[in-house]
Each structure stands twice: as structure tokens, then as C-alpha cells.
Amino acid sequence: MSYRSYKKKAKEILARTGVEINGVKPWDIQVHNENFYRRILAQGSLGLGESYMEGWWDCERLDQFFNKILNAGLENMINLSLIAGLIKARILNLQKKSRAFQIGERHYDTGNDLYQLMLDRRMNYSCGYWAKASSLDEAQEAKLDLICRKIGLKPGQRVLDIGCGWGSFVIYAAEKYDAEAVGITVSREQVSLAEKRGDGLKVEIRFQDYRDLNESFDQVVSVGMIEHVGYKNYRRFMETVHRCLDDKGLFLLQTIGSNKSGINTDPWIAKYIFPNSMLPSCAQLSRAAEGLFVMEDWHNFSADYDKTLMAWHGNFEKNRQKIKQNYSERFYRMWRYYLLSCAAAFRSRKIQLWQIVYSKGGVAGGYRLLR
């Protein structure tokens, strides 16, 4: 195809979305490099993201641009990088134990300073609960309290957080509910900061893979971690929780979810943001839990993740100059692209946010739903 043919084809595709090339609307894209058209047609989402990182195009409101793209179904366009990822995921266990710490090194160890500038005061790197909240701090505090109430956390109980991040939940559980809290993470940077933040509380932070857990807890939670477990390991994850959970305890799982069962993730996200990641579907989680747990509650509040991501982006932009002291322009564009494209994915309802409560044998008299 000639250069003009690539440009014509790109315009035809974008026309279905309401996005114009070099248009005046906030969601229109401004193209600075004419090789852009060939690149996105050949490489799909990977080419789109990389060309943005390299300054080949800009958009005033990336979140609105992606919302239009996703609502038009363009994320389903086949490209070679997606096919290669599918083959790789079929053949390999991308989330096996020997690879478990890669996500910590490549994403969560990016720099505590970045996350401190972007997140709420408790450093929650997961969806907030905005039902009655008017700020990011309030939404994250409400989410933490909702989790504690859903598992019926009581003073003196021992609670485990699989994928504890910077300790937001375990510190909250110890502070507000007088619990003994243990958190595990595969990020050394998270361990370092979480230990400092939890100093003086009944909190223990460990650098540990979930597969090495073999002890008893009254309650178990896992918030935003199973996205790194992989479809080949879901059953083992559930078996680990079952082994560690008291017979009368509850397990709360918070996760981003996919509308369809898949085995890999978007090529750009996999390469630059979350290596070895994938989103579970309802069916995949149900199969993994079958015979081990009773599903007591399944709560979807995915629209709240759009708000959370836009709040993170607001903090990111507000602190842009501080961030640029330690991070390159390419990184700045990459992170902006990540936050706003993900916000659009929730806004368009292409992906979901679930809180699921499991029991080992069913709650006597029935589980009381909390919102």
C-alpha cells in the first residue's frame, strides 16, 4: 500500500468513531508524523501506544478519544502483536513462580515517589468507592471500610492481604479495627515503604509469592492482585486461599474483570505497564472457585474506576514538574496514555471492577449484603 492508501484507510476507520485527524474537537488527534498511519494499521494497539510515546501524535482528551474508539469496537481489530501474544500465552505459563516477581520489578518498583504524588494519602493503587465520596481520599477510605465490613472484621482477628501494595488495607485494618494484619507483595519498594508506614501497628509486610503461604488466618482479602495470577494459576490461587482461610472466615476478592474469557492482555499494556498480566472473567473465576467456595456476593462498581483513574491523572498532571525531575518525557507520555486509556475502558464498560465475597461452606442464615 502507498502512503496515501494508509492514510485513507486510517481516516475511514476513524470516521466510524467520530474522531477526526487534525480536527478541532477535544477527542480529535493531531498527527505530527505521516508514518503514523502505516504504523497503526500494521501494529494495532502496540503501534498506537508507541507512536504516542514517541510524539508522533497528540490528543487534548485522550480519555474521550479512547472512549469513542472502544464504543466503536475498534479494540477487536486483529494485529500481529496480539496473535503472537495469544500463542505465547497458550504455550507458556507467563505467571509461573519463577516469573512472579517481574511485575514488582518492572511496575511497582518504578519509584515510590511517583505513586506518592499520584495516589491518595493512604496510597491505594486500586479502585475507590465513590457512592458517598467527594474526593479521592474519601473514596479510598470508603473502599477500605467497605472491605472490612464485608468480611466482618473484628478486633484481634488475624487478616491476610494477598498483594498488599504499600500497606493501605493492612494499616487501615490495624488502625481502625484493631486487627493483626499480614500483607504480602512481590515488590521490594512496596515492602520498604509499607514497613515504615505501618511502624508501631500490628502489621507485618512480607516479600513473598502467594504460593508460599501455608498458615491460618481468620479472614483473607486480595485487592487488585489476581490480575497478575494468570488463567493457568487461578485454581492454585483459590486453593491457597482455601488452605489459609479459617473454616468460618470470609475471602474478599477485588479485581478488574473482563467481559469475555481470555488468556492474555493488550499488547501495549503487556509490554509497557503490566507484564505477564491478564484480566479474569466471571466464568474463569467461578471455575477456579468451584468445589472450594460458596460465592456469597458479587458487587460491580466499575464506573467508580473511571473516577479513580481520572483523579490519579489529575494528581499526575498537578505534579507534572516534580515527576519530570526524575522521569523522561517518554515516560510521562506513556503514563498519561496508560491512565487515560484505562479510564476510557471502564467508561465504555469494556472492563469491569468486582468485589466478590466467598465463604468455605456458606454463611449460616445467609450473607448480609453491604454497599
Q: Sort 242 into a burial class: Cβ within 10 Å, 0-12 / 13-18 / 19+.
A: middle
Question: Helices 188-197 and 168-177 meet at what angle, rounded to 10?
Answer: 20
Q: Residue 91 to residues 46, 71, 85, 248, 343: CA-CA distances in angstroms? A: 21, 32, 10, 39, 31
Q: Sort 203 into a burial class: Cβ within 10 Å, 0-12 / 13-18 / 19+.
A: buried
Q: Is 111 left (phi over 0), alpha (psi -120 to 50) or beta?
A: left
Contact in structure between 153 and 177 (CB atoms under 8 Å): yes
**Sequence-distant (≥ 6) Cβ neighbours of residue 337 within 8 angstroms:** 49, 52, 53, 62
Cell numbers linked to 62: 485522550
Residue among 127, 148, 164, 342 flagged as catalytic: 342
Q: What gap in Å lies between CA 33 and CA 25, rounded to an integer?
A: 20
Detail the DSSP E strand segments found in 144-280: 158-162, 180-185, 203-207, 219-223, 250-258
Cell numbers linked to 219: 479472614
Contact in structure between 93 and 233 (CB atoms under 8 Å): yes
Q: Is 157 left (phi over 0), alpha (psi -120 to 50) or beta?
A: beta
Catalytic site residue 342?
yes
Contact in structure between 173 and 202 (CB atoms under 8 Å): no
Q: What gap in Å lies between CA 171 and CA 92, rounded to an integer?
A: 37
Q: Mind telling me the catalytic residues?
A: 342
